[in-house]
Amino acid sequence: MKKLSALVLATTVIASPLWAAIQTVNLSVPGMYCASCPFIVQGAIQELPGIQSVETDLDSRTAVVVFDDALTSIDNITFATLNVGYESNVIESGS
């Protein structure tokens, strides 16, 4: 029985990355008004695990984030921006 439990656990750990997917989310960050704001938002998001890339745009007040959904979530990303003083909302998300 212990061998079976160990086998199931090992299979689960090994197979978990198969369910992970790289996701892209577009965020509205309406509080970005000055030239340093996009860098602050970008830095906060980049500190999260699983972030592949972050592109912020001051003119459109948006951020495009590519991330591994096995390591972080959209909720974590929006919380990271809020934590540095910038509320963000999902415009569009997908893989």
Instruction: Please give the pLDDT value at position 19.
Output: 66
Instruction: Please give the pLDDT value at position 87.
Output: 97
The per-residue pLDDT for range 77-94, each reduced to its tens digit, is: 999 999 999 999 999 766
Number of domains in the chain: 1
Q: Is residue 49 within 8 Å of 70, Cβ to Cβ? A: no
Any domain includes 15:
no
The per-residue pLDDT for range 38-53, each reduced to its tens digit, is: 999 999 999 999 999 9
The answer to whether the predicted template modeling score (pTM) of the entire model surpasses 0.85 is no
Task: Give the CA count within 13 Å in the CB-facing half-sphere of 85.
Answer: 8
Full domain range(s) for residue 87: 21-94
Listed in sequence order, the residues at least 6 apart from 61 whose beta carbon sits closer than 8 Å to its beta carbon are: 28, 29, 30, 31, 32
Any idea which of 4-8, 18-22, 34-38, 86-90 has the lowest mean pLDDT? 4-8
Any domain includes 56:
yes
Any domain includes 16:
no
The secondary structure of residue 88, as a DSSP letter, is -
